[in-house]
Amino acid sequence: MKKTDERKGKMLIFIVLFILSILISFQIGRYPVSPVELVRILISRIIPIEESWPSQAETVVFNIRLPRIALSSVIGASLALSGLLLQQVFRNPMASQDVLGSASASAFGASLALLMGANYMMVSLSSFLFGILSLLLIILISSRIRKKDSFTLVLCGIMVSSLFTSATSFVKLVADTNETLPAITYFLMGSLSSFRTSDLILVFTVTLVASIPMILISWRINLLSLSEEEAISMGVNMTRLRFVSITASTLLTASSVAAAGQIGWIGLVIPHFTRMICGSNTKITVPASMLLGASFLTLVDTLARSLTTSEIPIGILTSFVGAPFFLYLIRREANRT
């Protein structure tokens, strides 16, 4: 009973943090909105009240910041859950979206579409489809190998990731240096500055499809930490559980990259923060990671659009947070040995 109350208390902290990050993001920007104005504007859509705020404030809140906050929240939750699943599958706290090459494949898909002069919708679609293609390639390659374990998947993922990274470099090499190359480079740095409603629909739909099953079987994801022999003795089909988790992770990563480009470190850092606070039980770390990832990216996106007159790519800011934390993890693991 005490542990249950403790878990509920920790989840409440994550929920409050998520709500606060949203409220802060609504208020901060080149057109500031006071807390009182924000509350009245939000309430006005539920209860008719006298309008005492500038019309520009309402436009900024509902037409500009609301869609962007929703998109950043969903992408942050997707990347955090994706990273957590991969770390469980490979039993490696350093695992992230780059392990299976889905992020590299999605980046190549977008780069190729930009090189071909495709419109925005086709760029997002190409990015998403190539992310899925990386999973199909890994399944095809691993099916030819008799031993099917996490180490085999890592090797296949490294190969696929290297293949698409090289292909992206080739696209950048042949791209027009005046128009296409800058567009590809900016996309690879990650940004929400040019998002469309279609991006929000894509990411939200995929996140629902991929995350709901993971939340429902979150208690079972704990079993991924078992060895193959222990899983067999308990009657757990480790191959099926691993496949479902990897598929969900790939879908989440591909949709996120398609909508906002490459945003690194969230899938690596956020699951670690969650485990430090909540422990390693995936029944609580799965929803907690999603909430913390959503809060983190929402606040980072707020900084990206507010610190300077020209927007800073999100990938740059997430690296400033992720890189020092990565060094801390290395030092922490070294001290344990």
- Say how far apart CA 97 and CA 79 lie, in whole Å: 8
**Among the listed residues 143, 334, 138, the one whose alpha carbon sits nearest the alpha carbon of residue 253:** 138
- Say how far apart CA 51 and CA 48 lie, in whole Å: 9
- Say how far apart CA 91 and CA 224 lie, in whole Å: 7
What was the pLDDT predicted at 47? 85
pLDDT exceeds 70 at position 142 = yes
**Among the listed residues 184, 181, 193, the one whose alpha carbon sits nearest the alpha carbon of residue 127:** 184
Q: Over the stretch 280-317, which tens digit does the pLDDT of each residue have?
A: 889 899 999 999 999 999 999 999 988 887 888 898 88
* Alpha-helical regions (H) of the chain: 2-27, 35-44, 55-59, 66-89, 102-115, 120-143, 150-174, 180-189, 197-216, 218-221, 228-233, 238-260, 266-278, 282-306, 314-336
What was the pLDDT predicted at 54? 83
Mean pLDDT of the chain: 86
Residue 150 vs residue 36, higher pLDDT = 36
HSE value, Cβ hemisphere, 13 Å, CA-based, for 299: 15
What is the assigned CATH class of domain 2-336? mainly alpha
Q: What is the mean pLDDT of residues 196-219?
A: 89
Q: What is the mean pLDDT of residues 130-156?
A: 80
Residue 165 vs residue 141, higher pLDDT = 165
Residue 49 identity: I
Q: What is the DSSP secondary structure assignment for residue 47, as one 8-state letter?
A: S
What was the pLDDT predicted at 9? 82
- Say how far apart CA 113 and CA 68 lie, in whole Å: 24
CB under 8 Å to 336, separation ≥6 — which residues?
A: none
Q: Over the stretch 27-73, which tens digit does the pLDDT of each residue have?
A: 998 888 888 888 888 888 888 887 778 888 888 888 889 999 999 99
Could you tell me the two tokens for 313? 């790519």
pLDDT above 90 covers what percent of the chain? 37
pTM above 0.85, yes or no: yes
Highest mean pLDDT among 48-57, 82-91, 315-324: 82-91
* pLDDT band, residue 192 (cuts 50/70/90): confident
Helix (H, G, I), strand (E, B) or coil at 94: coil
Residue 232 vs residue 90, higher pLDDT = 90
CB 150 within 8 A of CB 89: yes
